[in-house]
Amino acid sequence: MVVKKAAATKKAPATKRAAAKKTAKDDSYNCEVCGLVVTVDEVCGCAEVCDIICCGKPMKAKKPRAKAKAAKK
């Protein structure tokens, strides 16, 4: 019995840069080495994703804080 195999399609390897989102105003970044926190006041407008470097390593995006629950009436 002959079994047909589906043609294997090769995907281009996903790069870290391709998956990264652009920096937006009020985004926060945290340095895992010294603990410095940076908040973006003005976006540079570059076509590429920019890394924010501290202590020789790219800073990690800090998760936004949960908004306070609405006050009960």
67 band by pLDDT with thresholds 50, 70 and 90: low
Return the C-alpha torsion angle 16, 19, 25, 31, nearest 10: -30
Q: Give the angle 57-58-61 at the CA atoms, nearest 5°.
A: 140
Q: Which region, left, alpha or beta, applies to residue 45 given φ > 0 means left and ψ of -120 to 50 means alpha? A: left
**pTM of the entire predicted model:** 0.55
Model confidence over 20-47: pLDDT tens digits? Answer: 577 788 889 999 999 999 998 988 878 7
Residue 70 pLDDT > 90? no
Give the chain's domains with CATH numbers.
Answer: 18-63 (2.60.40.730)
